[in-house]
Chains A and B, each alone.
Chain A
Amino acid sequence: AQSVAQPEDQVNVAEGNPLTVKCTYSVSGNPYLFWYVQYPNRGLQFLLKYITGDNLVKGSYGFEAEFNKSQTSFHLKKPSALVSDSALYFCAVREEGNTPLVFGKGTRLSVIA
């Protein structure tokens, strides 16, 4: 069965600095990887996904993520953090065959002005 690990409960970064939110996954076949963001009392908003092709995926709001098959990782990155990026970030994975998304526990990002 597929699983996702987000090793950091909280990431703090200064505004303007680069940010990284870590994610590792486990699947039996080819992974389909997703990042979502959640603001307080809101649903999840889709940021980006990796399906196939280029390992570097670009998404909404300047975020990008790098797929690394050998390390089974899909870390979320942004070159310059904004205070408005402060939110809860979820990594998710699904296997081929339209299985449901499996989510990590989430990482709270706090960007400090």
Chain B
Amino acid sequence: DTGVSQDPRHKITKRGQNVTFRCDPISEHNRLYWYRQTLGQGPEFLTYFQNEAQLEKSRLLSDRFSAERPKGSFSTLEIQRTEQGDSAMYLCATALGGVSGNTIYFGEGSWLTVV
């Protein structure tokens, strides 16, 4: 499968614990996005990378959230000291940069449940 790959698909954690999600992009896609989706809502933008550079962060991305893309390939999204309000699906998406009309392709998402 050459699509966007996310791991794990499901994570249940206790409040206060740290969690990390991984995203492997489509090969050669230099733009990588993280979105969050809660039930009944559309995806909300969190942050994006051009290669290894983090170019934009949403105000939704609190200090407990950190994203990295160390070599411009895979990316990780870490949530520290999880809260119940963090329960959501975290979506990774990638695209070829440079042209505004390029399609953004999404992974299957990582479901987080904080208990």
Contact = CB atoms under 8 A, between A and B. Distances in A.
B100 A44 contact: no
B46 to A, nearest CB: 9
Interface of B: 4, 6, 31, 33, 40-45, 48, 56, 91, 93, 97-101, 103-109, 111
Contacts of A98: 31, 97-100
Interface residues of A, number: 28
Contacts of A42: 108-109
Given A43-B108, A100-B48, A100-B56, A34 B42 contact: no
Given A49-B101, A92-B42, 11 more contacts: A34-B104, A44-B91, A45-B106, A46-B104, A46-B106, A100-B45, A100-B48, A101-B104, A103-B43, A103-B44, A105-B40
Interface string A39-62: 001111110010110000000000
B108 A34 contact: no
Interface of A: 4, 32, 34, 36, 41-46, 49, 51-52, 90, 92, 94-106
A32 B100 contact: yes
* B-side interface mostly: loop
Contacts of A44: 43, 91, 93, 106
The residue in B4, B41, B98 that gathers the most chain A C-beta atoms within 10 A of its C-beta is: B41
Given A90-B43, A106-B41, A96 B100 contact: yes
